[in-house]
A and B are shown apart, each in its own frame.
Chain A
Amino acid sequence: MKFLTLWRGLNTRIRVSIYMLFFLAALSAIAPFITPFHSDQMGTGQTLLGPTWQHPFGIDSMGRDQFSRVTEGIRLSAFIGFTVMSTSLLVGIPVGILSAYKGAFLDSLFSRVLDLLFAFPNLLLALVFVTILGSGSWTALLALVIIYIPIASRFVRSAALAEKDRDYVSAAKVNGASTFRICARHILPNIAPSLLVLGTNIFAFAILAEAALSYLGVGAKPPTPSLGKILTENQGFITTSSHLVIIPAVTLSFLVLSLNLLGDGLRDYLDPKKSSSQHKKSWIRLLFPRQSAPVNGGQLQ
């Protein structure tokens, strides 16, 4: 009952994005049980086959079942997104809050290092790390973690900076609370809503970045079915078997779109300045947001 009330209170964008994500999760979770083909298995006999009942997404140029490859690609993307998000938040939250709260030397050192890192476009930075570490799924993951930790820290820092001079922090200080207690029990809960949005955005961008790296051939190595890798492998057949390219492309966009919608919806929902009447919008409002705040915060891209 309580759950149902909460669910009804959510705005349309959150609910629809949860439906979309649930659909993708369910699809990739049941895929291994409904199709007998493994994503690396080549001996299906035919190549470049169109969609059939047995192979709903067709067969690629090496005779591999595209359905199991795409669904495994979704799982891989989700894994990468989740790992990058959780690691960067786990490191970024303490570093960001401490840097904002303790200030002084730590903060200025931290800001200089970040300024330098932000002097490079993200994808370029990832390419540099991949050059040093050697290409592959794990190094791409590591590179993304290294890149998103400073981004998360900077975001947390600016959110915590806005909170640290509030009255409740001073009150806690007067009461003799330790630095750790103020950071963990007072500042953190107050910036938690924006961190949820940040986490969703990092999730989406990490998926995009991994797909881009794999597409460029410096991420996942064959036969790993990363969505970006599937796109590179099949792009040459776009004229004859376009479904091999369009289906993974649409899947990737659908995944990112649902995460972005979730992020947008969460921001609206958690923003206390918005009246609750705005949450009850028709389905059409889903893609036609009225609020003027730009999504995603350009710095994440």
Chain B
Amino acid sequence: MKYYALRITGGLLTIFVSSLLVFSLIRLIPGDPAAELMGLAFDPELAHLLRIRLGLEGSFIQQYSAWITAVFHGDFGYSFINGAPVGQEIGDRLIRTIQLLVGGVFVGLAISIPAGIVSARNKSKWQDGGIMAFTTLMLSVPQFVLGIFLIYIFAVRLHVLPAGGWIDPHDDFVEWLKSMVLPWLCVGMAMSAFTSRVLRASILDAKNMDYTRTARSWGLSEKEIARKHVYKNASAPTLTVVGLEIGYLLGGAFVIENVFAYPGIGQLTVKAISQRDYPMVQTSILIFATGFILVNLIVDLAYGFIDPRIRQQ
């Protein structure tokens, strides 16, 4: 219990500090956003009002507390570019990014779990060699290059899947599914390389452990040994890596969404950065950081759940 409480407190604390960090980093940007927004029509009186509206007046602590209070009320401010509420725009896109990542992680697990098990079972045979060669290649091909290759093969050459874009599933479910296949595959393949290597290594480790030999000497069937002793023990390190991978996928979302012209939060962030739309940048970075920390927290909690030894420390 103490383990879980400590982890949760630590996670919340990190989220708080990172919100502080994001907030102060955005304020480090040189130049006055109000002056930049008004351009040639600069008027000191109006600029003051604008600064109040943008939450740029008062001391740093006042600004931060006003911002964080508003965030807890679901008010993330307004876009500099089109004046639309940031929360709404990001909310719509967040759902799509979550769709992308969750689907991609499932694809990744669907590739890496069988791949890891097969290559561990056939260690040093051709299956193992082929899978390891594949993972070596996958670790070297950058995510966006992988996406481009996928587009080239499936959209340009074979004409079976759309090259990008997103279709509302309420309008046409089949088309939506088709438009999601390549992004999911891109996320999944990128993730599967490292994960299947770790799974393979941890299965091989667990196979050579004393407890596996003991289980065998008890006369348990090979199936039971694999299920209860080998795979269960191999799942703990793999889970950590999956958590880490999901974290990096959050970073990779920026790139993948841009490759496939996928209207998610990563694409929005990149656009907002080039347009210097600070409320948008601030909010989406906060959301990414929170997501990243939450994923790590969940992994820590699950790790304690799987391996009771961790809880004791």
The answer to whether A and B come from one shared complex is: yes
* A binding-site residues for B, Cβ under 8 Å: 115-116, 119-124, 127-128, 130-132, 135, 204, 208, 211-212, 215-218, 228, 231, 235, 238-239, 242, 245-246, 249, 252-253, 256-257, 260-261, 264, 284, 287-290, 292-296, 298-299, 301
A253 touching B145, Cβ below 8 Å: yes
- Given contact pairs A124-B251, A124-B285, A295-B139, A249 touches B148 in the complex (Cβ within 8 A): yes
> In the assembled complex, which residues on chain B have CB atoms less than 8 Å from the CB atom of A249?
145, 148-149
Across chains A and B, which 7 residue pairs bring their CB atoms closest together, nearest first? Answer: A121-B251, A288-B129, A257-B140, A123-B251, A292-B201, A287-B133, A294-B197
Digit string of B291-302 for contact with A (CB within 8 Å is 1, else 0)? Answer: 011001000000
Q: Which of B49-57, B242-250, B304-312 contacts A (4 or more CB under 8 A)?
A: B242-250
Residue of B with least CB distance to A252: B145
In the complex, which of the residues A131, A208, A260 contacts B136, with contact meaning CB atoms closer than 8 Å?
A260
CB distance from A291 to the nearest CB of B (A): 9
- Closest Cβ of chain B: how far from A111's Cβ, in Å? 13
Which residues of B118-147 have CB atoms within 8 Å of chain A's CB atoms?
A: 124, 128-130, 132-133, 136-137, 139-145
Assess whether B167 is interfacial by the CB under 8 Å rule: no
**Minimum Cβ distance to chain B for residue A170 (Å):** 28
A135 to B281, CA, bound (A): 14
How distant is A121 from chain B, measured CB to nearest CB, in Å?
A: 3
B21 contacts chain A at the CB level, 8 A cutoff: yes
Interchain CB contact (< 8 A) of B198 among A130, A252, A294 = A294
Report, as a range, how many residues of chain B touch the other chain: 35 or more
Q: Give the dominant DSSP class at B's interface.
A: helix
**B7-42 residues at the A interface, CB under 8 angstroms:** 14, 17-18, 21-22, 25-26, 28-29
Bound CA–CA A36/B149 (angstroms): 31
Among A119, A261, A295, point to the contact of B14 (Cβ < 8 A): A119
* A127–B198 CB distance below 8 A: no
Q: Contacts of B18 on A, CB cut-off 8 Å?
A: 116, 119-120
| Residues of A with C-beta under 8 A to B296 | 119
The answer for the CA separation of A121 and B156 in the assembled complex, in Å, is: 32
Q: A211-B142, A249-B145, A295-B136 are in contact. Are A122 and B124 (CB under 8 A)?
A: no
- A296:B273 contact, CB within 8 angstroms: no
Contact B139 A260 (CB under 8 A): yes
Which of chain A's residues has its CB closest to B202's CB? Answer: A292
Contact of B132 among A116, A208, A245, A289 (CB under 8 A): A289
Q: How far is the CA of A208 from the CA of B255 in the complex (A)?
A: 12
Q: Is the interface of A mostly helix, strand, loop or mixed?
A: helix
Query: Which residue numbers of B lie inside 8 Å of A, CB to CB?
Result: 14, 17-18, 21-22, 25-26, 28-29, 124, 128-130, 132-133, 136-137, 139-145, 148-149, 151-152, 156, 163, 194, 197-198, 200-201, 204-205, 241, 244-245, 247-248, 250-252, 254-255, 258-259, 269-270, 273-274, 276, 281, 285, 288-289, 292-293, 296
Q: Which residue of A lies closest to B269 (CB)?
A: A127
Q: A242-B152, A260-B136 are in contact. Are A252 and B142 (CB under 8 A)?
A: yes
Q: A295–B273 contact, CB under 8 A?
A: no
Q: Which residues of B contact A131 (CB under 8 A)?
A: 25-26, 29, 273, 276, 281
A295 and B289 contact, CB distance less than 8 A: no
Assess the B250–A121 pair: CB atoms within 8 A.
yes
Q: How distant is the Cα of A260 from the Cα of B197 in the complex, in angstroms?
A: 15
Question: What are 16 of the A-B contact pairs (CB < 8 Å)?
Answer: A119-B292, A120-B292, A121-B250, A124-B289, A127-B270, A130-B273, A131-B273, A135-B273, A135-B274, A212-B143, A218-B274, A231-B145, A246-B148, A288-B128, A288-B133, A290-B124
Cβ-closest chain A residue relative to B198: A294
Determine if A216 and B197 form an interchain contact, defined as CB atoms under 8 angstroms apart. no
Q: Is the CB–CB distance between A246 and B273 below 8 Å? A: no
Contact B21 A239 (CB under 8 A): no
- CB atoms of B28 and A293 under 8 A apart: no
Point out the residue from A122, A242, A288 that lies within 8 Å of B251, measured CB to CB: A122
Q: Which residues of A contact B132 (CB under 8 A)?
A: 287-289
